[in-house]
Amino acid sequence: MMRVLVISPERGLEEFLRRELSPADFEVLGARPGPAVLQTARGTRPEIAVVHRIDTRHEVAALELAILRDIRPDVRIILVSGVPSPEDAPLLETGVFYYLAASPPLRLPELVRAAAASILQETSAKVRQGELR
């Protein structure tokens, strides 16, 4: 079971993804921006994170991405930006798996599945190369 952490000030996105992904064996967890991100990420070590940025506070999103990378360097991050901006570029340079700008979240389940597939492919390749047993 893959864990997906949804970081959003709104519960709607988390509930939508839980409804769409739980039947496909994903555990969808939620955290509001702020201290809860650190606590939840440490406690769950998610394989995939959906970071929903709805305002222009890039420093908050940058801190959340840094926390996620510190706890789990190989986490697949999907950045959802309700307010796309050229200032998002530094966030993307942190290794974001996918950037979804100003579009309805209907594609998110598909993107989470793609992130999960990339994790499985990477793990399989490491097993074949003898890096994992």
CA distance 29 to 35: 15
- Cβ proximity of 72 and 46 under 8 Å: yes
Instruction: Quote the distance between the C-alpha of residue 70 and its chain's center.
Output: 14
Residue 23 within a domain: yes
Residue 68 within a domain: yes
Predicted TM-score (pTM) of the model is 0.88
* Geometric angle at alpha carbon 43, from 125 and 7, rounded to 5°: 85
Segment 32-54, tens digit of pLDDT: 887 888 899 999 999 999 998 76
* Geometric angle at alpha carbon 104, from 67 and 72, rounded to 5°: 20
Residue 133 within a domain: no
State which residues form the domain around 19.
Answer: 2-128
Q: Kindly report the number of other CB atoms within 10 A of residue 43's CB atom.
A: 11
**Strand, helix or coil at 60?**
helix
The domain spanning residue 11 has which CATH number? 3.40.50.2300
State yes or no: pLDDT of 21 exceeds 70. Answer: yes
State yes or no: pLDDT of 133 exceeds 60. Answer: no
Segment 51-110, tens digit of pLDDT: 987 666 777 788 888 889 999 999 999 998 877 778 788 888 888 999 988 666 788 999
The number of domains in the chain is 1
Residue 44 within a domain: yes
Q: Kindly report the number of other CB atoms within 10 A of residue 100's CB atom.
A: 19
* Top-confidence residue, 120 or 104: 120
